[in-house]
Structure formats: structure tokens, C-alpha cells
Amino acid sequence: MNAVMTDHPVQAPGATISVTALTKRFQGFPALQDVTIDFLPGEVHVLFGENGAGKSTLIGVLAGIHRPDGGTVILQGQAIQPTSPRHARQLGIAAVFQEPALVPQLTVAENLTLGREPMSLGLVDKRARQAAAAQALQRIGSNIDPAAHARDLSRAEQQIVEIARSLQGEAKVLILDEPTASLTDEETNQLFTVVETLRREGIAIIYITHRMSEIRRIGERISVLRDGTLIRTCPLEHVTDDDLVTLMTGRQVGALFPEIPHRPGSTALELHQVHGKGVHGVDLCVRKGEVVGLTGLIGSGKAEIGRLCFGLSRTLSGGIHINGQDARSGSPAERLRQGVIYYPADRKHDGLIFSRSARENVSLSALDKWARSGFINRRREKLEAEAVLRRLSLRPGNPDALPTSFSGGNQQKIVLGRGFTRPYDIHIFDEPTTGVDVGARAEIYQAIQELAESGAAVLLISSDLPEVVNLVHRAYVVAEGRIAGEFSGSDLNEATILPVFFTQYDKEPAN
């Protein structure tokens, strides 16, 4: 077991909330082991670690989602044990998770007062509801319209409404779990302004992120977890970025991005003047043994191109060829038969079946491989799917557990596992490392390297520009649904590519 090192006493004087010797197990696997951390008022304290390190379990205990098996939670000098998220909020512990939980059909004011509506003569007092919502938003410096519907808000605005809702009452602690994972830079700045306002109020803020660029910008102290154990707590100025990666992974920092030899073969995927929903006259090709990037701003149309390639949306005109064969029409099932596999960006809604085990999720794209006379050979399916999960280093290594038992990075490995149950000629990755830590990123990049070196064609759709310029052999930039530029060789760098993200066209071309 790794020794715990802290740069302050176990229970710091004046701490808002502390966990002492906190322990939690799931199905016999230790998720937390004797973790002790103090969180101070008016401080942004970063929780850092690989997926599966114990971060989500720790905040789950604080938020009343999990009951600990041992240890103590102390809130302003009093031992507490939150029994539900509602109980935690009553105690003053507010949690905002990565996926907003607003009701899209309701207004901002209705969402903010849901379950605590002001009443008058047995009816909802709408004027009082609007006033309460305006006050909650004003507290955090937001000018969002209380009458706006949640479905019409940007992702950042939804996060801000979630924060405003969670802070109603006497909030002492705010937990933010990967709040910027799906935000643009501008939206991230908007969110950070709110965080700074709350920090000045003296609220203790617990902040989880995998983005190294955010840590020093937003945080003051950091606690690094690994395999459920606290490795170190210290001020951020006491550690370098390389130190953090070493503490997180237990390994010396190596090259995050592998060197993938460029040995392009025949054309595997080709689009010619393709038009579809949000896509206008796109030309591109991906050859076997090649990693090709598709990048641009969020909403640029790059994701829609990937969906067209896999048959998830309809091609209105133009040509799609797979291994030289016309494939303009075709369903996802037909694409799988043609040797194409797609890994969706939203693993929770599009990638996983949460009522089925990790092993069964991996098997989904290859059930016909094990079927004979209408029956599946369960023994073969089990052996091969479990071998894939071992190959991808699934943690914890329980293939029969449901996806909810795994961290985000390990859920992503389950989705990726489908591409290793049989040979595929073309692999389409859509934002494969969103919400994934450095260690899991390296494992995903290694899997992409193995696919390309085996002769597969890889289309990598990503908003992460460093990921694109360091991993692909060629890159297309998408703007307003069109290919705005193609880059390779010495031109494949951030300085050259980034300005093309903002290409504007005079009018939307007709399909």
C-alpha cells in the first residue's frame, strides 16, 4: 500500500469538511482505503487521479450516494453520515455532476424551485417562483433568463443553473465533477467566473478534472488518488505537471502519444461531395494503415460526418465508398457487415446498455460470430469477450459487473472493446478521450496504434487539438459542415490548424 503524505495536519484547524480514514468496497474490491483529506473554506481543492482511482467514490460518500465501510466525515467539527443526496444538501453539501439533470421541458425558474415551489392558497405562486429563481441566479452573478426553457440553454448555462439550484439554502461545500468536459473555452471561462464568485463567499469547492491546463488556473491545493489510496495532498505550486502524472500513474512520465508508422495502403473509406444533415459537399478519404483526424469547433459538423459514414444519418447526395464499393445507403448493421465500426462520443446514452454486464456490452457487435442455428455459444462468447477486456486492462477486472460499477475511463474501454472482438477494416472514433484521465488516454492511444499497425483505417473525430496533431497522419478541419482545410507533414501543427477552425462561409450551401 502506498504511504499517505500530507503537507498539513490530518485535521486542519478551520476545515469546512474532512474525511478521515475513509474506506469503501464494492463487491470485495477496495474503492477507497484509509483516505484522509481536509477541504478548507474559500479554497478550490482539486481531486486528481486516473479513472478508477476513487475520486467518484469519495464524492459519492460526501454527496450521500454511497455509505462508507469505515472512517469518518466531519463537517465543521461535527461527524456526519449523509444517507441520501437530499440529506447531503440539507447538511450543506451540494454536488453538480458531469451530466446536467435539468428537466428540459421546464423553465429555468421551474427547475430551480422543483420540489420546493412557493405556494399560495394551495397553488404555485408564480411571481414568488420567478423572484426566487432570479435571486438564486443573481447570487452567482448569472444573467440567465428565469423564463427560458432548459432545453434552449447552452451546456455551460445548464451547468450554471445546476450550480444555482444546488446552492439554494446554506451551502457550505460545492462539489464539481468534470464540469468542463463538454464545454468550449468561452463556456469554461463563464463557469470559472461563477466558481471564483463562490470561492470569495468562503464556500469549500471540491473540483474534479482530467484537464491539466485547468488545474493551476482554478485550483489552490491538490489531492492525488491512486487505486483508492491517497498518494499526496499539497499546494499546487509544490508540484510540476510531470510530478502529478507520476503521482497519478505510479510511472515516470513517458511519451503520451505513440509514434505510429505511416504506411498507407489502399483507400478504405472515401466520401465525395457528400451532403446530409449539417454536412455540405464533403470530400475526404482514409487509407488502410492510416490515422486521419477530423477536427473543428464543437458544432462544426465533424460529428455529423462520422454519423453519416456509419449510416446513423441519411446521405442526401454524393458518394460514400467502403473498400471501393458503393455504400451511400446502408444501416449501422450493414456497416458492421462491411467492416466498419463506430465508437460514439456519448458513451452513457449511445455506447452502453447499463442493464447488461461489461462482457455482454463488449459482445454486442459480434453476436453473429458466436451464433449457430439461432443460438449463441455462450462459452466462446464469454472467453473471447473477457480476453478483450483483459487486453484493455479493465479496472476493476470484473467482466460480469454492470457498467455503473466502472469509472468513465473504464466504461470507455468497454465501448472500445467491441472493436477487438473481430477484425474491422475501418474504425471511427468520435471524441474517444472525453472525460478520460492521462493513464487511460495513453491506453486508448496505444489501442489506436495497434489498429493502424495491423492495417486498419482509423478516422479520429476530436475537438482536442493536441490529440489530433500528435496522433494522426493527416487532418481535415471542419467548419460550418464543410471541409475548411486538409493538413499533413510540417503543416500539421496547432498554429497552422487553429485559425481554420473559425472559417466562415457567406451562406449555407444548398443540399
- How many Å apart are CA 437 and CA 340, to the nearest integer? 27
The pLDDT of residue 440 is above 80: no
Is residue 145 assigned to a domain? yes
212, 214, 219, 222: CA torsion to nearest 10: -20
- How many Å apart are CA 330 and CA 426, to the nearest integer? 15
- CATH number of the domain that residue 481 is part of: 3.40.50.300
Is residue 509 assigned to a domain? no
The model's pTM: 0.63
459 and 469 together in one domain: yes
* Mean pLDDT value of segment 172-190: 81
pLDDT higher for 370 or 237? Answer: 237
Structural domain count of the chain = 3
Q: Chain-wide mean pLDDT for the chain? A: 87
474 and 361 together in one domain: yes
Is residue 510 assigned to a domain? no
Domain boundary among 152, 185, 217: 152
* Mean pLDDT value of segment 333-346: 93
Residues 5/223, Cβ–Cβ less than 8 Å: no
352 and 428 together in one domain: yes
The pLDDT of residue 426 is above 80: yes
pLDDT, tens digit, for every residue of 45-65? 999 987 678 898 999 999 999
Write 210-215 long-range contacts (CB < 8 A, 24+).
Answer: 210/178, 210/181, 210/435, 210/436, 210/437, 210/438, 211/180, 212/241, 212/244, 212/438, 214/180, 214/188, 215/46, 215/48, 215/244
Task: Give the pLDDT band (50/70/90) at residue 508.
Answer: low
366 and 277 together in one domain: yes
Cell 496505444, residue located = 446
302 and 380 together in one domain: yes
137 and 281 together in one domain: no
pLDDT reported for residue 2: 39
307 and 363 together in one domain: yes
Cα 508 to the center of its chain, rounded Å: 31
The pLDDT of residue 1 is above 60: no
189 and 92 together in one domain: yes
Is residue 261 assigned to a domain? no
96 and 125 together in one domain: no
Share of the chain above pLDDT 70, in %: 94
pLDDT reported for residue 12: 61
Domain boundary among 186, 220, 249: 249
pLDDT reported for residue 8: 38
* Mean pLDDT value of segment 85-109: 87
pLDDT higher for 506 or 56? Answer: 56
* Mean pLDDT value of segment 473-492: 96
Is residue 254 assigned to a domain? no
pLDDT, tens digit, for every residue of 4-21? 444 433 446 789 999 999
Is residue 255 assigned to a domain? no
pLDDT reported for residue 3: 38
Q: Of the given ranges (187-201, 349-363, 448-462, 489-503), which has the lowest mean pLDDT?
A: 187-201
pLDDT, tens digit, for every residue of 348-367? 888 899 999 999 999 988 88
Enclosing domain of residue 133: 103-152
326 and 340 together in one domain: yes
The pLDDT of residue 135 is above 60: yes
410 and 493 together in one domain: yes
Is residue 41 assigned to a domain? yes
126 and 53 together in one domain: no
The pLDDT of residue 436 is above 60: yes
Highest mean predicted confidence (pLDDT) among 29-33, 348-352, 459-463: 459-463
Is residue 166 assigned to a domain? no
Domain boundary among 119, 152, 185: 152
Angle between helices 241-249 and 438-453 (to 10 degrees): 80
